[in-house]
Amino acid sequence: MTVGSATRQALVAASAALDAADGVDLPTAEQLLDASRSISGSAQLRAILADQSTDADTKKQAVRLVFGRALTPTAVSLLETVAGERWSTPDDLVGGVEELGIRAAAQSAGSGAAIEAELFAFGRAVSTDPRLELAVGSKLGAVDQKVGLVVRLLGDKVSAQTLAIVRHIVALPRGRRIGAALRYAASVVAEQAGLAVATITSARPIGAEQLQRLQRGLSNTYGRELRINAVVDPALIGGLRVQVGDGVIDGSVASRLSELRLQLAG
């Protein structure tokens, strides 16, 4: 998501508080995600917590009054950290609590978990199936029904952390398409593990050996280990499209043809 400078600093502080916290388990992550939905649904609470003219102690007191009896001490402490920071907009505050919950879910799973890959796979399934995207992303559908569908589809096929994140996103899409929200969540999970995600789109499947070479080359370019998510899209005709975070390297034939058409039209 695109954020202001205040929000960027707040996200760094919240992430540092999470890394330093003890007892970060899945219930804590779920409570943080629940809190983001509660804050999103309360204009009054959003206004208090995101108001830059309100002092940090008042905001922390509001957190304790609203959530103190419902959440674990760890979750309350993390929310207090979020409340004590300055956020560029109320929506950024909601997004910050959401990101903290996603990071907590990733941290609770430990090393070796496949949360990022599971999120990406479901996001890809949603993006390529219009009926599924409508079923889980329609503004007209009841939230309970959409969440119930997700539980039936994923059930025990994914980790409990992945299921918690997907349920949250379906319940609170925040104006995003579900596929895009899931890809964002996958990138947060990878970042929490010290990794980044490179989505490589090609017109035809790429062999395992070539993917390994691409992973090594991109990791060297970006100076950090990357996880590769491969997507096949025949519309590209040929070449590759690589996306790492907000950066895109588009070397596809379709992109070059589009540029040529623009040049001819000019």
CATH number, domain of 242, equals 3.40.30
* Residue 1: both structure tokens together: 């998501």
The predicted pLDDT at position 163 comes to: 97
Task: State which of 109, 143, 170 marks the end of a domain.
Answer: 109
In a domain, residue 123? The reply is: no
Task: State which of 109, 132, 166 marks the end of a domain.
Answer: 109
In a domain, residue 252? The reply is: yes
In a domain, residue 23? The reply is: yes
Task: State which of 67, 87, 109 marks the end of a domain.
Answer: 109
In a domain, residue 141? The reply is: no
Q: Which domain holds residue 94?
A: 5-109
Domain count, the chain: 2
CB-count exposure of residue 102 (10 Å: 0-12, 13-18, 19+) = buried
Written as tens digits, the pLDDT of the chain (266 aa) is: 456 788 999 999 999 999 999 889 999 999 999 999 999 999 999 999 999 899 999 999 999 999 999 999 999 999 999 999 999 999 999 999 999 999 999 999 977 678 988 998 898 889 889 999 999 998 888 999 999 999 999 988 999 999 999 999 999 999 999 988 998 899 899 889 887 788 888 888 888 898 888 888 888 888 888 888 888 888 888 888 888 876 788 877 777 767 767 766 75
The predicted pLDDT at position 260 comes to: 63
In a domain, residue 133? The reply is: no
The predicted pLDDT at position 198 comes to: 83
The predicted pLDDT at position 162 comes to: 97
Contact 248, 264 (CB under 8 A): no
The predicted pLDDT at position 240 comes to: 86
* Residue 143: both structure tokens together: 């939230």
The predicted pLDDT at position 187 comes to: 87
Distance CA 113, CA 230 (A): 19
In a domain, residue 142? The reply is: no
The predicted pLDDT at position 266 comes to: 58
**What per-residue string of b and e applies to 119-134 under the rule 16 or more CB within 10 Å gives b?**
bbbbbbebbeeeebbe
In a domain, residue 36? The reply is: yes
* Residue 175: both structure tokens together: 């104006």
User: For the sheet containing 247-250, what is the strand order?
Assistant: 226-232, 196-202, 240-244, 247-250
In a domain, residue 187? The reply is: no
Distance CA 93, CA 114 (A): 28
Same domain, 105 and 199: no
